[in-house]
A and B are shown apart, each in its own frame.
Chain A
Amino acid sequence: MAERKINVKGETCPVPLVETRKAVRTAEPGDVLIIQGDHPPSKDEIPMAVDALGLELLGIEEDGKNWTIKIKIPAEV
């Protein structure tokens, strides 16, 4: 079980989602992914993907224009 940060600040659609998917593919069950970005549509798009992939959304935090999304990889994806 590990925590992994993915920094996609300065990137626009679809790069934040692509990087998230890449991290999900290589993550182990139980891992937590922390995605940090600032592109507003990606903040809505990543939770949509989390839902489709059956992952657990731990939370979304916003700080000005920056946002952080925490995702947990379930036991079986």
Chain B
Amino acid sequence: MKEETVYLDNSSSTKMDEEVLEAMKPYLFEKYAVASSEFGYSLGIKAKEGLEDARSTIADNIGANSEELIFTSCGTEASNLALKGVAEKLPEDKDHIITSKIEDFPVLKSAQRLEKEGYEVTFLEVDDEGFVDVDELEDAINERTGLVSIQHGNQEIGTIQDVEKISKICDQKDVLFHTDATHTFTKLPIDVSKTPIDLMTLSAHTIHGPKGIGALYVKDGTDIEKMMDGGFQENNRRAGVENIPGAVGFAKAVELVNEEENQRLKGMRDALIKKIQDKILDTTLNGPAKDRTPQNANITFHYVEGESITLHMDMRGFSVSTGSACFSKSLEASHVIMGIGGDHERAHGSVRFSFGRYNTMEDVDRTVKAISEVVKRLREISPLGKDK
């Protein structure tokens, strides 16, 4: 009998929890109306209660007030809204934005777009483990700086930035601070009542919640322009009928995460890294050994291409991803691996393994066995081989 697929791409998206679906169902089939105020009909009022309960659950988790949370269609929209929405409201003399070179695409591309529109953007370098130099960041802030956006945890190599320190520097210098917490939300403690974060991106589908829903935390008093014109939903900050089933599912997903699960992810991550390093020669761990998101392992297997590895792993029933992007025929290497000083060979041979709720230690052992075989055989035929 064919064994079940081992899914190790949970940083891209996760399997939705059954309990999340159950929580969403009433808002799809019973309380399906558009959210309405007390002046509307009962079905709409019940829908609104569901939406606000969900908002409150998620806000509580990060130490925010409910009204500081804007539901969006995804994390990408939240980051776009954070950067572009804030930039539009910045005073004319605040036209400088700071971010890092290894941000995920929503922040990176939004910053590049703003640069084209005339803002000055500083893309900070990172060290060989992906850390932003906090002193360098402080030095980069000038009297024209209006916004700093530095992610909490990196999407590819798991580096956890010191957002506490960075946010305090920004606070002292009266500069707004945004962080993309897509890969750390519910996995690492974040408390905006204690840490001066002004804007934070959150997403549901990376925590076993539904796709199509994300959120942006916007600290009370932060001026932000809406990106889409339309209705007055989300306190007139995001137009469009609210995705209430999505919001309810998002909140349920938040409730289901616990510290024990995060420790389990960390255990599997560490076991995988150690077993691969023990068993396979010529590998490089991308990202730090410490201060790494619990779910992430990223390893370069030298002399082979990441895409070949992912294809052959897939044929054996394992889902992993690579920082290589030859599929586009652009030979574009991962901007994150290049950002930490890697060369094209290191970037193209990098494989990301990201754990989730449904993985087990048995998956780790099966993965190590399969990748050892795949790498061995690919190295035998690789034109990049040591001796070739």
Contacts and interface: CB of A to CB of B under 8 A. Distances in A.
Interface of A: 13-15, 17-18, 21, 40-41, 44-45, 48-49, 52-53
Nearest to B329: A15
B315 A53 contact: yes
Interface stretch (B139-147, B237-245, B249-257, B378-386): B378-386
B381 A48 contact: yes
13 contacts: A13-B305, A13-B307, A13-B326, A14-B326, A14-B327, A21-B311, A40-B383, A41-B381, A41-B383, A45-B312, A48-B377, A52-B312, A52-B316
Interface residues of B, number: 16
A18 B327 contact: yes
A48 B304 CA distance: 14
Interface in B310-338: 311-312, 315-316, 326-327, 329
A52 to B, nearest CB: 4
Interface in B348-385: 377-378, 380-383
Contacts of B56: none
A18 B308 CA distance: 9
Given A45-B378, A48-B377, A17 B383 contact: no
Contact of A14 (B311, B316, B381): B311
Given A13-B305, A14-B326, A18-B327, A49 B312 contact: yes
Nearest to A40: B383
B316 A45 contact: no
Contacts of B380: 44
B381 A17 contact: no
Given A21-B311, A40-B383, 15 more contacts: A13-B308, A13-B326, A14-B307, A14-B308, A14-B326, A15-B329, A45-B312, A45-B378, A48-B312, A48-B377, A49-B312, A52-B312, A52-B315, A52-B316, A53-B315
A20 B311 CA distance: 11
Interface in B274-319: 305, 307-308, 311-312, 315-316
B153 to A, nearest CB: 29
A45 B381 contact: yes
The 6 A-B residue pairs with the shortest CB-CB distance, nearest first, are A44-B381, A52-B315, A14-B307, A53-B315, A52-B316, A14-B308
A45 B377 CA distance: 9
A15 B326 CA distance: 9
Contacts of A13: 305, 307-308, 326
B377 A17 contact: no
A62 to B, nearest CB: 15
B316 A17 contact: no
A48 B313 CA distance: 11
B332 to A, nearest CB: 15
Contacts of A45: 308, 312, 378, 381
Nearest to B380: A44
B311 A49 contact: yes
A11 B82 CA distance: 42
Nearest to B317: A52
